Structure 1
Amino acid sequence: MTDDLPIEGHASLFWTRDLNDDVTAAGAFADSLAETGAAGVKMLHQHDDAEPIGVWDEIVEDARGLFVRGRILRATPRGRLVAALVEAGALDGLSIGFRQLKARQDGPLRVLTRVDLWEVSVVTFPMLPGARLQVVAPAVP
């Protein structure tokens, strides 16, 4: 649908401490993504699973972290609200919802080495301050 709002960004940054003293190792998402692909990861607003707001079209591990690209769908009231807030600059954070499968302690840090990725949310305050999204500019014909 042409009214969808395309977004992209990094939902997680490798080897970067978050506000909960978690660090994600490179490769932590690989098994989960191989099993479910982007279609198996939900797009939520503020981790609220009652009202998905869009779809993730691409989720990959790149050199920096977990890169996501998707579309906020304006077909629902929550999707319209979130799209308007993103366009206005009021929302630009990303946050992951996951289940830890394997981790190790490194002093005060929990190093996540294997996780089951459930969802990536558009949030006001991400636990990892550098996890941000941007609106994808439309292609120029």
Structure 2
Amino acid sequence: MQIRGYASRFHEVDDGGDCVHRGAFLRSLVRRPTQDIKMLWQHDPSRPIGRWTSIREDSQGLFVQGEILDAVAQGREAAHLIAAGVLNGLSIGFKARKARRDPHTGCRDVLAVDLWEVSLVTFPLLRSARLDSSD
């Protein structure tokens, strides 16, 4: 099953208080090839469920495209949940390389990250980080 969507959106505060800024992923995407950024189930490193074929920054955020592997039991389950409209969340696993706390809002402005995985999740911290349902 092919999937795509936004794993992160710029200038939106997530439920953890992070606000990712445009350009935050650029260096990481140059240093780490797409095939090295893992597709996981619910951020569990013992449960990869597919592979990302394209990851890029655009004007809205971090756009991802990938393939869920149906040879993996969890991949089959995820594909069925996506097809049924039950699962549509995306979430990023990263280490902040450059960030600052906004003294007015208390939010953490994330300016540079080391991205290592993008997961399919039930409840994304960034509520707008979703699969594209137009397919």
TM over 0.5: yes
> What letter matches 1:60 in structure 2?
R
RMSD: 1.0
**C-alpha separation in 1, matches of 2:97 and 2:132:** 30
TM-score (norm 2): 0.95
Structure 2 residue aligned with 1:86, among 78, 82, 89? Answer: 82
Secondary structure of 2:129's aligned partner: coil
Secondary structure of 1:78's aligned partner: helix
> What letter matches 1:33 in structure 2?
L
Q: Does 1:50 align with 2:46?
A: yes
Q: Does the Cα contact within 8 Å between 1:40 and 1:118 map onto a contact in 2? A: yes
Identity of aligned residues (%): 50
Q: Deviations over 1:35-67 (max 9, x none)?
A: 112111100110011010000000000000000
Give the corresponding residue for 1:134: 132
Q: 1:9 Cα shift?
A: 0.4
Q: Deviations over 1:85-138 (max 9, x none)?
A: 11111100000000111101112010111100010000000000000003574x
Q: Which runs of 5+ in 2 are unaligned?
A: none
Runs of 4+ in structure 1 over 6 Å off: none
**C-alpha separation in 1, matches of 2:79 and 2:133:** 10
**C-alpha separation in 2, matches of 1:136 and 1:35:** 31
**C-alpha separation in 2, matches of 1:58 and 1:121:** 14
Q: Does 1:117 align with 2:115?
A: yes
Number of residue pairs matched by the alignment: 133
> What letter matches 1:20 in structure 2?
G
Q: Does 1:61 align with 2:57?
A: yes
Give the corresponding residue for 1:35: 31
Structure 2 residue aligned with 1:103, among 88, 99, 107? Answer: 99
Give the corresponding residue for 2:66: 70
